A and B are shown apart, each in its own frame.
Chain A
Amino acid sequence: MTGAAAENLTFGKAINAGLRAALADDPAVLLMGEDIGQLGGVFRITDGLQDEFGEDRVVDTPLAESGIMGTAVGLAYRGYRPVVEIQFDGFVYPSFDQIVSQVAKLHHRTHGAVTMPITIRIPFGGGIGSPEHHSESPEAYFVHTAGLRVVSPSTPQEGFDLIRAAVASNDPVVYLEPKRRYHDKAPVDLTAPLRPLGPAALAAQGSDVTLVTYGPLVKTCLQAAEAAAADGASLEVIDLRSLSPIDFGLIESSVRKTGRLVIAHEASRTGGLGAEIAATVTERCFHWLEHPPVRVTGFDIPYPPAKLEHHHVPDLDRILDGVDRALGRPNSLDSLDPFAAPVPLGSTSDHTSGA
Chain B
Amino acid sequence: MGSTSLIPPSTGMPHVPEPDLLQVLTPEGHRRPDHDLDPWLEDVTPAMLTSLHRDMTLIRRIDTECTHLQRQGELALWPPLLGQEAAQAGSAVAMQDDDYVFPSYRENGVAYLRGVDPLGLVRLWRGATFAGWKPQDHNFAAQQIIIGAQALHAVGYAMGITRDGADAAAIGYFGDGATSQGDVNEAMVFAASFHAPVVFFCQNNHWAISEPVGLQAKRHIADRPWGFGIPAMRVDGNDVLAVMAATRRALERARNSGGPTFIEAVTYRMGPHTTADDPTRYRDAEEVEAWRAKDPIDRLEKHLAELGEDVEALTADSTAAADAMAAELRAGVAALADPEPADLFDHVYAEPHHELERQREHYRLYLEQFDGPQLEAGVR
In the bound complex, do residue A111 and residue B131 qualify as a contact, i.e. CB atoms below 8 Å apart?
yes
Are B131 and A113 within 8 A (Cβ)? yes
From 122 to 174 in chain B, residues with beta carbon under 8 angstroms from any chain A beta carbon are 129-131, 134-136, 141-142, 146, 149, 151-161, 163-164, 170
Q: Mark A78-122, 1 if CB is under 8 A from B, else 0.
A: 111000000000000010011001100011111111110100000
Which residues of chain A are within 8 angstroms of B164 by Cβ–Cβ distance?
78
- Do B136 and A113 touch (CB < 8 A)? yes
Asked whether A123 is an interface residue with its Cβ less than 8 Å from the other chain, the reply is no
Do A101 and B142 touch (CB < 8 A)? Answer: no
In the complex the two chains form, is A147's CB within 8 Å of B348's CB? yes
User: Is the Cβ of B346 less than 8 Å from the Cβ of A112?
Assistant: yes
Do B348 and A107 have beta carbons less than 8 Å apart? yes
A80 to B166, CA, bound (A): 14
List the B side residues contacting A64 at CB < 8 Å. Answer: 182, 186, 189-190
> Which residues in window 304-320 of B have CB below 8 A to A?
none
**Interface pair A67/B160, CB less than 8 Å apart:** no
Interface size class of B (residues with CB under 8 A): 35 or more
Closest to A69 in B: B152
Tally of contacts, chain A with chain B, CB under 8 A: 143
Closest to B193 in A: A62
Judge whether B131 and A67 touch: CB under 8 Å. Answer: no
Q: Is the CB of B102 closer than 8 A to any CB of chain A?
A: yes
For A74, give its contact among B130, B156, B186, B350 (CB under 8 Å).
B156
B287 interface residue, CB < 8 Å from A? no
Interchain CB contact under 8 A, A75 and B346: no
Q: Tell whether A56 is near chain B: CB-to-CB under 8 Å.
A: yes
Q: Quick one: given A109-B131, A113-B131, are A66 and B183 in contact (CB under 8 Å)?
A: yes
User: Given A74, A101, A149, A246, which contacts B160 in the complex, CB threshold below 8 Å?
Assistant: A74
Given A111-B346, A147-B348, A67–B152 Cβ distance below 8 Å?
yes
Q: How far is the CA of A158 from the CA of B315 in the complex (A)?
A: 68
CB-based contact A245/B156 at 8 Å: no
Say yes or no: is A286 at the interface (Cβ < 8 Å to chain B).
Answer: no
**Interface size, chain A (Cβ < 8 Å):** 45
With contacts A101-B146, A102-B149, A113-B135 taken as known, whether A75 is within 8 angstroms of B156 at the C-beta atoms is: yes
Docked Cα-Cα span, A44 to B288, in Å, equals 59
Contacts A169-B351, A245-B356 given; does A61 touch B149 at CB 8 Å? no
- Shortest beta-carbon distance from B281 to chain A in Å: 29
CA distance A150 to B165 in the complex (A): 34
Give Cα A76–Cα B348 distance, bound, in whole angstroms.
17
Q: Which B residues lie within 8 Å of A246 (CB)?
A: 355
Q: Do B157 and A77 touch (CB < 8 A)?
A: yes
**Complex interface bits, B183-203 against A, C-beta within 8 A gives 1, otherwise 0:** 100110110010000000000
Given A66-B186, A245-B356: A73 and B130 interface contact (C-beta under 8 Å):
no
Q: Mark A104-144, 1 if CB is under 8 A from B, else 0.
A: 00111111111101000000000000000000000000000
Q: With A113-B131, A113-B135 in contact, is A67–B349 under 8 Å at CB?
A: no
Q: Is B100 an interface residue (CB 8 A)?
A: yes
Contact A109 B142 (CB under 8 A): yes
Q: A71-B153, A245-B356 are in contact. List 16 more A-B contacts (CB 8 A).
A: A64-B182, A70-B187, A72-B156, A73-B153, A74-B102, A74-B155, A77-B157, A77-B160, A94-B182, A97-B146, A98-B183, A102-B146, A107-B350, A108-B348, A110-B135, A113-B134
Can you list 22 contacts pairing A with B, beta carbon distance less than 8 Å? A61-B193, A70-B153, A71-B152, A71-B159, A71-B187, A73-B153, A73-B156, A74-B156, A74-B157, A77-B156, A77-B160, A80-B163, A97-B146, A101-B149, A107-B348, A108-B346, A109-B142, A110-B130, A111-B343, A112-B347, A113-B134, A198-B354
Residues of B near any A CB (own CB < 8 A): 100, 102, 129-131, 134-136, 141-142, 146, 149, 151-161, 163-164, 170, 182-183, 186-187, 189-190, 193, 343, 346-351, 353-356
